[in-house]
């Protein structure tokens, strides 16, 4: 029987910016992409560090983290504010919650294999609850967890109201650079270019019927599971995914197509269309003046649809390959449609008309009832595994466990030391009944390792 995780909160406080935000920066406009993001939840990241000589004294560690966090908040000043309305942020320096906790568990035991269902106990807030009172809710919350072996886990919950994964990564990496004294690695975050190019509009009436709220926000009991694909498995999968339509599929296209295929087989909705949504980074597609330093929710959804044929039949291996290649084509084409021309159509006042067209198309897809739908997010190459606060890089970076947000969600993140190169971790959140089928799919298990142990060297 698995030992229950005991986590005891020993302190709570608010950390505010080290210097006040200038008056001319007190109001920050949201961008159109901030507004279109309907997942108004906290998304978590947890960084695990084994015990070493730099982690001897809790008071010293905590003091350094709080001081550097305060300095980082001055650079990323909107994160200390609160939402004013659907158009802007009040950068009022109210600060972010900072908690300290003692964990009655050894890190080596916790990661052999990772205790996915216990991860949420290490978080400063519940990431699966939609933020209701957004006017008073902080945009960020931090918790320092100290294991009984001396190892630590730093968890950060970031509000999707104001940031996407790349923005969260930029903030956390800057915080870590300040903590270890690497000021030469800091940059000046850009909070205004996205909202200048894509100004906010009155979208609340338009996104109210978005199928994300229908297909993803379910009352049923949901679970999150982790699967690891090593470099050899990804190379084999990509080779099978090649076709005359997509002769050189990316690892993301190949893997998302495989996951999508297995998800459809595990579903209890055998007929009708199946939608898939991919979060696409706008920064790289627009180019200058947007950059990796542009903060906020600079993502947009690329949608694809697959019309069911007979996906519940016991398909032969060659039929699975054909379906895989077909899904790769849909994924590739949907992402390609988020091009410069499309993004240009969203700029300025004409963005309102483009969103009206988008909303109308969405309504037409919805009119036949609740669809089967899945959302994919890719955190590969975001640099989370490089976060070093002064005692080395984390041995593992995780998201939350169980239902950390909406259901029918898939998240990719890169992982080192798996196979002959970098692998990919896939985190899948589904209703419990569907997960029982999905996690036992032979096609999935032909490539995936279900929640393998995280190995690391412990000091003597």
Catalytic center residues = 160, 388
- CA distance readout (Å), 122 to 191, 252, 356: 30, 29, 41
For residue 351, give the nearest of 286, 294, 405, 416 by alpha carbon: 286
Only one residue has tokens 């309102």, namely 352
Residue 191 contacts by C-beta under 8 Å, 6 or more apart in sequence?
A: 28, 78, 295, 296
Rounded distance between C-alpha atoms, residue 33 and residue 355, angstroms: 11
Rounded distance between C-alpha atoms, residue 272 and residue 202, angstroms: 33
Q: Are the beta carbons of 288 and 196 closer than 8 angstroms? A: no
Rounded distance between C-alpha atoms, residue 19 and residue 230, angstroms: 45
- R_g of the chain computed on alpha carbons: 22
From the number of C-beta atoms within 10 Å of its C-beta (0-12, 13-18, 19+), residue 7 rates as: middle
Q: Are the beta carbons of 111 and 396 closer than 8 angstroms? A: yes
């Amino acid at each position: 029987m698995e030992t229950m995780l005991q986590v005891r909160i020993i302190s709570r406080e608010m950390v505010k910016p080290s210097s006040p935000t200038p008056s001319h920066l007190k109001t920050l406009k949201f961008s159109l992409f901030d507004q279109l993001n309907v997942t108004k939840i906290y998304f978590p990241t947890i960084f695990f560090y084994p015990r070493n000589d730099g982690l001897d004294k809790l008071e010293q560690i905590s003091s350094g983290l709080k001081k550097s966090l305060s300095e980082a908040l001055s650079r990323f000043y909107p994160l200390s504010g609160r939402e004013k309305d659907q158009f802007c942020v009040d950068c009022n320096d109210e600060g972010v919650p900072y908690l300290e906790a003692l964990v009655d568990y050894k890190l080596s035991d916790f990661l052999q294999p990772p205790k996915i269902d216990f991860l949420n106990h290490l978080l400063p807030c519940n990431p699966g609850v939609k933020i209701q009172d957004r006017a008073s809710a902080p945009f960020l919350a931090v918790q320092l967890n100290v294991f009984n072996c001396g190892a630590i886990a730093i968890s950060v919950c970031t509000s999707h109201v104001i940031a996407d994964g790349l923005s969260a990564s930029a903030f956390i990496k800057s915080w870590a650079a300040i903590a270890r004294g690497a000021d030469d690695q800091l940059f000046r975050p850009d909070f205004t270019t996205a909202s200048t190019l894509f100004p906010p509009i009155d979208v609340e009436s338009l996104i109210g019927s978005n199928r994300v709220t229908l297909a993803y926000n379910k009352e049923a009991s949901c679970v999150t599971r982790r699967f690891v694909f090593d470099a050899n498995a990804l190379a084999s999968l990509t080779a099978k995914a090649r076709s005359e339509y997509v002769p050189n599929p990316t690892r993301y296209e190949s893997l998302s197509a495989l996951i999508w295929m297995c998800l459809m087989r595990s579903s209890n909705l055998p007929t009708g269309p199946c939608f898939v949504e991919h979060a696409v980074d706008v920064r790289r597609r627009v180019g200058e003046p947007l950059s990796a330093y542009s903060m906020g929710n600079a993502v947009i959804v690329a949608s694809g649809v697959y019309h069911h044929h007979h996906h519940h039949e016991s398909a032969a291996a060659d039929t699975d390959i054909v379906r895989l290649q077909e899904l790769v084509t849909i994924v590739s084409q949907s992402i390609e449609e988020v091009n410069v021309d499309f993004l240009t159509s969203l700029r300025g006042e004409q963005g309102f008309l483009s969103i009206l067209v988008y909303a109308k198309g969405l309504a037409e897809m919805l009119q036949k009832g609740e669809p089967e739908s899945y959302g994919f997010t890719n955190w590969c190459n975001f640099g989370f595994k490089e976060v070093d606060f002064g005692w080395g890089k984390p041995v593992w970076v995780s998201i939350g466990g169980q239902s950390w947000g909406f259901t029918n969600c898939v998240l990719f993140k890169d992982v080192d030391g798996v196979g002959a190169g970098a692998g990919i971790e896939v985190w899948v959140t589904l209703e419990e009944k569907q997960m029982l089928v999905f996690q036992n799919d032979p096609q999935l298990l032909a490539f995936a390792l279900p929640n393998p142990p995280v190995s690391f060297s412990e000091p003597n």
